[in-house]
Amino acid sequence: MLLPTLRPHLRPTLTLAYPVMLSQLGHVLVNVCDSMVVGQTGKVELAAVSLSVSVCTVVMVFGMGLAMGITPLVAAADGRRDVATLGRLLVNGVWLCTVAGVLLGGLGLLLPPFLPYLHQEPDVAALAAPWIRVIFLSLLPLMVFQGFKQFAEGLGLTRQAMLLSVQANLLNAFLCYAMVFGKFGFPNLGMMGAAWATLIARTLMAILMAAYVLLAARLHPYREAAALNLLPDASSLRRLIGFGSPIGVQMMFEMGAFSFSAIMIGWLGATELAAHQIAINVASVTYMAASGIAAAATIRVGNLRGAGNATGARHAGYAAYLITFLFMSAMGLLLIVGRHYIPQYYNHDPAVIAQASALLLIAAAFQISDGVQVVGLGALRGLEDVKVPSVVALLAYWAAALPLGYVLGFPLGLGATGVWLGLLTGLTLVAGLLLLRFRHRSRTLATAHLNEVVASVR
């Protein structure tokens, strides 16, 4: 793919991507803030946060994936200027996300009794149980936020969610510090203060995002169409679930692999688990930035495909690949340079810092693979191709990455480093296979569209 064919798509993709990048970063910066603040109270507390985040993230990303199914359908309908369909997507998308939030949040009441079966250190499991209950409560407002956010982003309105995420993160950071250490008149709740801060911040995000979609003048035509029937309809729900659930399953396979790797590392002890939390926390920042580019790819590819421009959709996908490759290459170099310094912002235990530095070196190595695989998923979603990527994720992570990580980490004695080398292998496999998938699917679509044009001219 020659650069001149991609150049027209670079600026539009970046314009869409940077607000989504900041908005997506908002989700992970909550965990970054929680980990940094709680890490100052001790490595056992930091290890408990790692265990809690590992359990919660698997459930959370399924919900987020379910919501992500809204965006490409909205982008395609917007490309066709189909206001009636957009109205139905708004109603059904919000209903779906709200019900999913209730169900996923309720899991938080069921999971803590099972923590001892994960064979973590008893102190770590005991501290994690109440944290999980509160964090799972925050999944309801988070899913409501996602329902309105994904609709707006499908229309190319990405700045609003970005601004709300920035505001909510500032609030979370303030409340986290205040309630963990009992500052500014707030109660001293220890590590639980961070969980309550997250719940409050996510509730505010949901309220403000809903207010924007329900009040903004530019969205009035879609609200009018939605007002014709405020109850969900089975056909639209089936389409949203059919499209979003494979995305959620794929994200569960991926994040589940990382979460299970945390559980395996927890078998080694609190020091290794705390180091894992630091390294995965840092890697998740760059990943979520890349996922913003992936979201822009979904919007651009979906919109151009909906408008009948299959070749443009193909070029837009490759433009997102190029941006991601350059960005993640720079992030990899940054992690190599800063691997000895970054862990000190989380914890001061020398053993934790040394182990985290080693893991950050592996994180630097998989930056390009991580970015390429997530933008591949985004581009394929724009083509409404979501089922095959789920199978790819299942096989690469659970049939290759985790077994290899276990063998390297335990029988071969490489410990946490071995587990992470397994993850590096899985990410690289997924990145390569999805790139081939997008190349094939986009070329087939572009060729079919060209044949239709030639036939119509004749």
Q: Which residue has the higher pLDDT, 42 or 75?
A: 75
What does the pLDDT look like over 1-19, one tens digit per residue? 567 778 888 888 888 877 7
Query: How close are the terminal C-alpha atoms of the chain, in Å?
Result: 29
What is the distance between the alpha carbons of residues 42 and 52, in angstroms, rounded to a whole number?
A: 16
In whole angstroms, give the CA distance from residue 331 to residue 373: 16
For residue range 250-306, list pLDDT tens digits in order: 888 888 888 888 889 989 988 888 888 889 888 888 887 888 899 889 888 988 888
Question: Which residue is associated with the tokens 């509730």?
Answer: 203
403-422, pLDDT tens digit by residue? 999 999 999 999 999 999 99
Among 195-199, 390-394, 404-408, 449-453, name the one with the lowest average pLDDT.
Answer: 449-453
Residue matched to tokens 């395609």:
76
443 sits in which H/E element: helix 416-457
pLDDT, tens only, 302-349? 888 888 888 888 999 999 999 999 999 999 999 999 999 999 888 888
Q: Is residue 121 within a helix (H) or strand (E), and if so which, with residue range?
A: none
Closest C-alpha to 108, from 132, 128, 130: 132
What percent of the chain stands above pLDDT 70?
A: 95
Q: What angle do CA 204, 205, 210 make, to 5 degrees?
A: 100
Query: Quick one: which H or E segment has residue 300?
Result: helix 270-306
pLDDT per residue as tens digits for the range 168-208 = 878 888 998 899 899 988 989 888 898 899 899 999 989 99
Give me the amino acid identity at 228.
Answer: L
pTM of the model: 0.73
CA distances from 84 to 14, 217, 218 (A): 29, 17, 16
Instruction: Give the contacts of 271 (CB within 8 A, at least 6 positions apart).
Output: 43, 349, 351, 352, 355
pLDDT at 22 over 80: no
What is the residue whose two structure tokens read 């920035």? 166
Residue 453 has pLDDT above 60, yes or no: no
Long-range Cβ contacts of 113-116 (<8 Å, 24+ apart): 115/51, 115/55
Angle between helices 43-68 and 3-39 (to 10 degrees): 140
3-state secondary structure 216-232: CHHHHHHHHHHHCCCCC
Cβ–Cβ < 8 Å for 326, 19: no
Q: Confidence band (pLDDT; 50, 70, 90) for 451?
A: low
Residue 145 confidence class, pLDDT cut points 50, 70, 90:
very high
Q: Tell me, rounded to whole angstroms, the distance of Cα 211 from its chain centroid.
A: 24
Do 305 and 449 touch, CB atoms closer than 8 A?
no
Residue 369's pLDDT band (cuts 50, 70, 90):
very high
The Cα 304–Cα 294 span in angstroms is 15
CB of 446 closer than 8 Å to CB of 311: yes
Whether the per-residue pLDDT at 427 is higher than 80: the answer is yes
Residue 156 in this model has a pLDDT that exceeds 90 = no
429 contact partners, CB below 8 Å, separation of at least 6: 396, 400, 401
